[in-house]
Homo-oligomer: A and B are copies of this chain.
């Protein structure tokens, strides 16, 4: 658990609770699945995770991408509304909900912390919904790049841990449109796609201007 921290830089801001065990997952491996009973909550220590839902007819919707420090699986009903998978090698802190409930019964601060995590998730989801409802393809891709850069790296050049299909399913587009839009932004000189997974943001201010 502390070992997991040691080799990464920077370490997650803080662990949710001084409890739980760290687990490891390979890329593409399932962490929890849509419909499963929620008995464990996870905090991502390193790597990157996607959460997604499968619709009735097989269409996929990526709910969010998660970075170290994020808490996953803190959900309302008794069962998970999303599945979660690593997009790279992933280390997580697994915390039984029973433990969480027990601790928060005596620690109002933890309760507030959990509330704040859920509220933050709500806010992210509402941003996401607003984007899907009202922005065009260029605006969506620009918003995605800006958001990703802020959350993962804060640098202006970085590697994307997800495929074009993941991005498309997150943005409500097809891989074709995502690919075309990235090419388009490159033609405009706003970004460099140095390799399919490696991107440099050249005019972050202009990208931001595109996000409405």
Contact = CB atoms under 8 A, between A and B. Distances in A.
Contacts of A112: 101, 104, 111
A125 B74 CA distance: 15
A26 interface: no
Nearest to A170: B133
A175 to B, nearest CB: 14
Contacts of A74: 119
B172 A132 contact: yes
A75 interface: yes
A106 to B, nearest CB: 8
A9 interface: no
Contacts of A57: 212
Main secondary structure of the interface of A (DSSP, over half): helix
Interface of A: 53, 55-57, 59, 61, 63, 74-77, 81-82, 101, 104-106, 108, 111-112, 114-116, 118-123, 125-130, 132-134, 169, 171-172, 211-212
Nearest to A130: B61
B123 A81 contact: yes
Given A108-B105, A115-B111, A172 B133 contact: yes
Contact of A125 (B61, B125, B211): B125
A40 to B, nearest CB: 16
A66 to B, nearest CB: 14
A51 to B, nearest CB: 9
Nearest to A128: B129
Contact of A81 (B126, B134, B169): B126
A133 B123 CA distance: 17
Given A56-B212, A76-B122, 14 more contacts: A55-B130, A55-B212, A63-B129, A76-B116, A81-B123, A81-B126, A101-B112, A106-B108, A115-B115, A118-B122, A122-B125, A128-B129, A129-B129, A132-B172
Nearest to A109: B105
